[in-house]
Each structure stands twice: as structure tokens, then as C-alpha cells.
Amino acid sequence: MTTTPPTSTAATPPPDAWEHPQKILVILAHPDDPEFFCGATLARWAAAGHTIHYCLLTCGDKGAPEGDYHPDQLCADRVEEQRAAASVLGVKNVRLLSNPDGYLVPDLALRLEVTRIIRQEKPDILVTCDPLFLYSFGGIRLNHPDHRAAGQVVLDAAFPAAGNRLFFPELLAEGLEPHTPREIWVSLPQESNVVLDVTEFWETKIRALYEHKSQIGDPQTLAERMRSRRSVDSTPENPRYEERFRRLMLL
């Protein structure tokens, strides 16, 4: 069940009205996940002057709609596509790890890897996805297991491991001091406590998705599908678009 928080008013600033520029780290499973999950919000934050970094746990080497792609070539293509899409949104940097697509498991080895990244990057805001999001498209499709694994391992790394000196002492030997992000924004949540109006940036999201040529098929069909995802209280003539999150406060 998804809850709908009260709409912000002039007297109630939105929850992302931070007083100072933030460093935002997005950790998800595959190329195109950031754009599909929360691309309009990321464009909104970049336009507001915040610095956004991506870390993707795989290069998506199994994400081919057809079986005639070699995994190495698909990986290379998707890395290039992701960098182009991130550029459209205003993302500063894209980092991709070498974990194999489709095999992510939120085990201690991956938790160590993600904890290392959080301590290296020292973000103010951490963005990931909901490990409880099992079903999609109205409950008739399965969510990818890598998405669930990515969300679980990021949450497990963010608290308590990233900020606690007693976790993974080998990171201290690497010179990586503990760091706890102030907030985590969980995209595609089962239960949201933040709803952002991202109408202004919806077309930017679509333009970024166009860059994922190996994934989207016909661009016009994609655009029609994305534009149909307007809020229930809007119309085709005056559409409004939202992205939802579970916002967690760690500090």
C-alpha cells in the first residue's frame, strides 16, 4: 500500500528544499535504473545546483531484448548509453562496478563493496530502491531480483556499517573513515512518505531514457508510455507527473 503525504504549500517547503548544495550518490543495479526509477527528480536536483554521482553495481550485460548480443558488447554499449543519459540529467560522474548482471546477492562481500563506496564518496544524500518491491505494473509482473538485492545491500551498508568504525576494519586500513549519509531516498517504495511534483522535468527524463537505445525499442512508443504515467488528478491536456520516495533520516 502506498501512502500519499500532504501536498506542499507555499508555507510548507518541499522536503528537498535543502539550504545548501548537497552531494547525492545514487546506487542502483543497472544502467537505465536511475532514469526509469527517478530520472525527473535527479534532473530537478541537478537544476537546483546539487551534485549527483552514480554508482551502478553491474553494467547490465544480460539486459538484451534479443539473444544475439554478446555480453561484452552489450556491457560496453550500456556503459556508453548510461553516460550519455546521465549527461542529459546533469549528473557529474558515473561509476560502474564489475558484478555480473542478474547474479546480485546482498551478501557480506557486496555489503563491503558498497560500504567502501559510501565512505569514498561521503554523500549527504543516498538514493537507492526498495528491496520490498516484489511486484510491478499493478502487481502482474515480477520486479528484477537485482533491483531488490541492490536496495537491500545499500540499506544494509548505509546503516550501520558505513558509519561505524567496528564494521569492516580493512576499510580503515585503506584510509576510509566512517561516514553516514544524512538521508536515504528510497525510490519505487512500497510505502511512500514523499511525493515530488516533477512535471517540469518529465520531458528531460524522457530525453535521458532515449539514450538507452539498447533497452527502449521504439522511442515514440516509449515517450507515449511515459507521458501516460501522469498523476490521477491531471488530464492529457494538463498533465502532472510525480515521483515517490520513502525518505529515511539517519542523522
Q: Is residue 168 part of a domain?
A: yes
Looking at residue 67, its pLDDT comes to 65
For residue 240, give the DSSP letter.
-
Parent domain of 187 = 23-61+70-229+240-249
- In angstroms and rounded to an integer, the radius of gyration of the C-alpha atoms of the chain is 18
Q: Is residue 234 part of a domain?
A: no
Helix runs in 122-218, H state only: 145-158, 169-173, 202-210, 213-216
> How confident is the model over 182-200, as pLDDT tens digits?
999 999 999 999 999 999 9
The C-alpha atoms of residue 74 and residue 68 are separated, in whole angstroms, by 10
Q: Is residue 47 part of a domain?
A: yes
The C-alpha atoms of residue 195 and residue 40 are separated, in whole angstroms, by 12
> What contacts 24+ positions apart, CB below 8 Å, involve 204-208?
204/39, 204/40, 204/43, 204/88, 204/89, 205/35, 205/39, 205/40, 205/43, 205/89, 207/88, 208/35, 208/39, 208/43, 208/85, 208/86, 208/88, 208/89
13 CB neighbour count, 10 Å cutoff: 10
102 confidence band (pLDDT: 50, 70, 90):
very high
Cβ atoms of residues 31 and 80 within 8 Å: no
**pLDDT higher than threshold 60 for residue 165:** yes
Looking at residue 66, its pLDDT comes to 67
Q: Is residue 7 part of a domain?
A: no
Q: Which three cell numbers stand for residue 120?
A: 569514498
The C-alpha atoms of residue 228 and residue 233 are separated, in whole angstroms, by 13
> How confident is the model over 9-20, as pLDDT tens digits?
456 899 999 999
CATH code of the domain in which 105 resides: 3.40.50.10320
Helix runs in the chain, H state only: 33-47, 71-89, 108-121, 145-158, 169-173, 202-210, 213-216, 219-227
Q: Residue 25 carries which side chain, given as an amino acid letter? A: L
Number of domains in the chain: 1
Q: Is residue 158 part of a domain?
A: yes
Q: Is residue 106 part of a domain?
A: yes
Q: Is residue 87 part of a domain?
A: yes
β-bridge mates for residue 186, sequence order: 128, 246
69 confidence band (pLDDT: 50, 70, 90):
confident
Looking at residue 12, its pLDDT comes to 86
Q: Which residue has the cell 491531471?
A: 234
pTM listed for this prediction: 0.94
The C-alpha atoms of residue 145 and residue 2 are separated, in whole angstroms, by 21
Q: Is residue 210 part of a domain?
A: yes
Looking at residue 6, its pLDDT comes to 45
Return mean pLDDT, the chain.
94
**pLDDT higher than threshold 90 for residue 219:** yes
> How confident is the model over 34-59, as pLDDT tens digits?
999 999 999 999 999 999 999 999 99
